[in-house]
Chains A and B, each alone.
Chain A
Amino acid sequence: MVINPRTEFLLKISMVWRGIFSLLTFGVVIALWSGILTSELALWLKILLTVILITASIFSAIGAGQIYRREHSGRMISLVIDYLAFVACSIIALNTGEVFIGIDALGETFASGLPYLGIVAMGYFLGVIDEYYTQKKQLWGESSLKVVSRWVMLGGFVLFIFQVGAIDGILYFLNKLTQPLGILSVAGIALFGFFMWAIGRSESAVAMHSKTNHEQILSGWLFLSPNLLGFLIFFAGPLVLSLYFSFTDSDAFSTPNWVGFANYAKILNIQLVSLAYPEQLAKEVVNISVYDEVGRFTFGNSGILFAAADKYFWIALRNTLSFVFLAVPLSVFPALVLSNILNSKLPGMKFYRALYFMPSIAAIVGISLVWQWLYNATIGYINYFITLGIEFWNNLFNLAIIDPKIQWVSDEKTALLAVVLIAAWQTMGFNTVLFLAGLQNIPGELYEAATVDGAGNWDKFWNITLPMLAPTTFFVVSTTTIQAMQVFEQVFILMNPPEGPNNSTITLVLYLYRNGFQNFKQGYASAIAWVLFIVIFGLTLVQFQQQRKSSIYES
């Protein structure tokens, strides 16, 4: 095979570059640990950087050898390393130029640019009109309107860019880039970019014995890379970090200290002691410098006292579980009934379906504010409807039911119920749509056969619909449960303070928020998060077992 000298030269410098890069990264690792480069770095960050750099160094060295041997893997390694470094440099450049934090400045000018976006929209509509007319009849020759539309859109967009201060922004960006780090990152972009081009060229590919599936592998990873990098940085990485933090006393700002299982031990430190008599004081049976009373169960002349080192966690767990066991049935059973009704072929069902769906798309914050006023004990509609209802029954049957005048959010007995009702109201429609889809997947022949066998509607529901719907039911119940376990926003907005009267609405996520972001005990908050996750996982697992047991009819 003839390789032209230019390609030969590019491959040669690529190989040299791989070697230099390998040494360079290794040098940075040494600098990192000897303390020359930066003094204050969190341990986890230092370790992470070291792992990344060492990996890069090793692979770069291997890459150099493979390019020398004209093995295609050398080209792949080269491309991957240079691409990652290129992305890293671009991000550093953008960050140094304050592009990311510059979005804030856009918030100031964006509104003034909106009219120009209106021009863009106008241009777009011109294009739509043009398309409509060319479909109808060839009226204006070769769609001159389309050209006009394009120009209007372009002009509007340029004006918009100008109006929101993009020129100033770019100048500011360039100015910021003249800092050492900025210059370094721009140099990096140029360098890595050049070598990506050098070895990515199709001539180089041929020289390196590339096959079609190699190209597919490269474009596959390339296409996935933005998503995968973001996923690693903002999801998988933090997940691992969360586990690490849960074993530390991290406070978000200073270096965290490893504390082992101390956080978990504190959460799970509980005592169950039997009481000599139901009213016995907690301090007589447990060490109250460590334990607080969470609750007591009494039967007859004795009782059991439940005490915990972190009383609020257990109250929060109790509240969260009560919330789940109330809100899930309340949002699932009506949904099941409604979906069966909506599944009838009567007119108007799509309209009702859309109406039921509305609550689930509205902002929880806004909705909770609305309900806050509906729940108002003196002027709220809910108590008004209750009063009207009681008056109606009293008049109808000559009764004397007393209006309870429920205090809703300010009474510890009803506060959690108030939150439950909002949550049920909000998720019911969503669940209805899910059930409806499940119902529409049940083959009609089953019902026909049952009708022939003389089964009634109730039999059909019980013996066909429910078993066939089991997978959907599992999905609905488990997603609703997972959502409900994380209840936070409704409580935070509806209750003032969010803990509710006598801690009656403190939930696990609220407690996590209090610990992590108000007291900045972030290590402890991470431990709470993992306990929450385990509880959620356990509940889902139980539901999954139930579903497997009950879905004997499936397939």
Chain B
Amino acid sequence: MKIKSYRFQQFFSKFSVYFILTFFALVMIFPFLYMVATSLKIPSDTFRYPPRMLPQDPASITMTGYEKPLPLYFVEINGQKEKYALAKSNIKIGTFAPPNDVTKTIDRFIDEVSPTGGADQKTVSINGKEEKLFDVIVDGQTVSMIQISQTTVGEFIDPQDPSKKVYQNVRLSDPVESVNAHAENYTKVLELNNMGRALTNTTLVTIFVVLGQLITSVIGGYAFARLKFPGRDTLFVFYLGTIMIPFVMLIVPLYQLMVLIGWTDRLAALIIPWIFTAYGTFLMRQHFITFPKEIEEAALIDGASRLQILTKILIPASVPALATQSTFTFLYAWNSFFWPLVIINVGNEKNHVLTLALNVLRGRASDTPNLILAGAAIAVIPPLVVFILGQRFFVESVASSGVKG
């Protein structure tokens, strides 16, 4: 009995663990799912309430005698739902009743009735209220009736047999819809607003920054880790101290520096200042310092130069560290927004990077969230792919940086 309850407890605790984890996982992942799903929708679908995830299109059918394809709706016939085409909308139907018994109602199209007495319409007084009279044809006979209410309906026809007609309210009818992903939103958004160029620019900037940072931080890290020279350790402490300094401290003087050398509005301003990094140098130094010294000394005795040792021995053995560093830099360069916003003019669209283009798109396409979110997906998905590829190195490295810090 006791064992059984222990087992139950185990099961329950496991269940609640996975429940909490899954709940948070859903919270984390939901905005991404929403982004991708919405980016594949048509605009009207994005403004729907209640919202729904899957992109769906209203279905339609081409019928002889009609110029445009007719939208399909569900129509209830004898308790069964059937797909009918909407042939005509905005048909007004009135509900009429004889003045002496308002419960005996009858529905007629508005254009089938005419005011009793023509232009000089007759009225009747019911409970002290004046009501207008209409001539309604009932079973071939004209009867004067008052109008109780009026609705607007659509004329739905059976696609197989156009003579079968049903009238019902269009807004309350469920449209026939099919799941349909509009991938062309992506090509549309790339053409719109120069997003294609922005994507190229971001790619270019990211490649240069990643390569540049790798080179400077690998050789710098190597110097800090392995070469003894006066002032090295003081300088290293100085490097470490600057990691904590927030970037906004630098933004004004860096801007003026760019003005001075004429790089405002230039992609070079997004690249050159960012290829020198104290943090990357620190990471590479931490990595190289773990490398056994003996191999290097042996190579030195064999007459290898420092550069040869670095390129032939250390770099090939450091692929995981380099991958981590590249992933970090990639994310940083790809996602950066504040500096491009400051240095690249809003009007100079040919030098916009993705984040800037998104900022412009947000104002320009506010009535088409599908396009905005397609643009967001173009900016968000490449880092996710890089993350998934480099995940193993990356997450571990973040973890270790925290422990050391």
Q: Which residues of B contact A (CB under 8 A)?
A: 14, 17-18, 20-21, 24-25, 27-32, 34-35, 38, 46-51, 196-197, 200-201, 203-204, 208, 215-217, 219-220, 222-224, 227-230, 232, 235, 239, 242, 244-257, 259-263, 266-268, 271-273, 275-276, 278, 281, 306, 331, 334-335, 337-338, 341-342, 350-351, 354-355, 358-359, 362-363, 369, 372-373, 375-377, 379-380, 383-384, 387-388, 391, 395, 398-400, 402-403, 405
Q: Is the Cβ of A509 less than 8 Å from the Cβ of B248?
A: yes
Give the shortest distance, in Å, between A399 (CB) and chain B (any CB).
21
A239 to B276 CA separation, bound complex (whole angstroms): 15
The reply to whether A438 and B402 form a contact with Cβ atoms under 8 Å apart is yes
Residues of chain B with a CB closer than 8 A to A245's CB:
252-253, 256
Residue B276 contacts which of A234, A342, A441 (CB distance < 8 angstroms)?
A234
**How far apart are B210's CB and chain A's nearest CB, in angstroms?**
15
A326→B358 CA distance, assembly (Å) = 28
Tell me the complex Cα distance, A316–B34, Å. 32
> A355 CA to B24 CA in the complex, in Å?
9
0/1 interface trace, chain A 206-247, chain B, CB 8 Å (1 if under): 000000010011011101101111110111111101100100
* Residue contact A221 to B260, C-beta cutoff 8 Å: no
With the chains together, A461 CA to B187 CA distance in Å?
53
Are the CB atoms of B331 and A361 closer together than 8 Å? yes
CB <8 Å contact, A110 and B200: yes
Would B358 and A530 count as touching, CB distance under 8 A? no
Q: Are B337 and A526 in contact (CB under 8 A)?
A: no
- Quick check: A220 and B216 within 8 Å, CB to CB? no
In chain B, what residue has the closest Cβ to A533?
A: B249
Q: Is the CB of A355 within 8 A of B395?
A: no
Interface flag for A103 (CB, 8 Å): yes
Q: How far is the CB of B204 from chain A (nearest CB, A)?
A: 5
B248 touches A369 (CB 8 A): no
Q: Report which of A338, A358, A361, A482 forms a contact with B244, defined as CB distance below 8 A.
A: A482
Would you call A226 and B216 a contact (CB within 8 A)?
A: yes
CA distance A217 to B227 in the complex (A): 7
Given A216-B227, A374-B34, does the pair A342, B21 have CB atoms closer than 8 Å? yes
Given contacts A226-B220, A235-B242, A486-B246, contact A356 B256 (CB under 8 A): no
B200 touches A104 (CB 8 A): no
Chain B CB count within 10 A is highest, among A221, A228, A234, for A234
- Assess the A231–B351 pair: CB atoms within 8 A: no
B252 contacts across to A, CB distance below 8 A: 242, 245, 250, 252, 516, 522, 525-526, 529
Which residues of A pack against B, CB within 8 Å?
A: 42, 45, 95, 100-101, 103-104, 106-108, 110-111, 213, 216-217, 219-221, 223-224, 226-231, 233-239, 241-242, 245, 250, 252-253, 334, 337-338, 341-342, 344, 346, 348, 352-359, 361-367, 369-374, 378-381, 384, 425, 428-430, 433-434, 436-438, 440-441, 472, 475-476, 479, 482, 485-486, 488-489, 492-493, 496, 509, 512-513, 516-517, 522, 525-526, 529-530, 532-533, 536, 540
Identity of the chain A residue whose Cβ is nearest the Cβ of B219 in the assembled complex:
A223
A220 near B227 with CB under 8 A, answer yes
Count the A-B residue pairs with Cβ separation under 8 angstroms: how many? 316
CA–CA, A353 to B29, complex, Å?
A: 12
The answer to whether B253 touches A100 (Cβ under 8 A) is no
Q: Which residue of A lies closest to B366 (CB)?
A: A496
Give bound CA distance, A104 to B208, whole Å.
13
Residue pairs across A and B with Cβ atoms less than 8 A apart, 26 shown, are: A101-B262, A220-B232, A227-B220, A230-B273, A234-B273, A234-B276, A235-B276, A239-B242, A239-B245, A242-B249, A250-B256, A358-B384, A361-B331, A361-B387, A365-B379, A366-B35, A366-B377, A366-B380, A373-B38, A433-B402, A475-B402, A516-B255, A522-B252, A526-B253, A532-B249, A533-B249
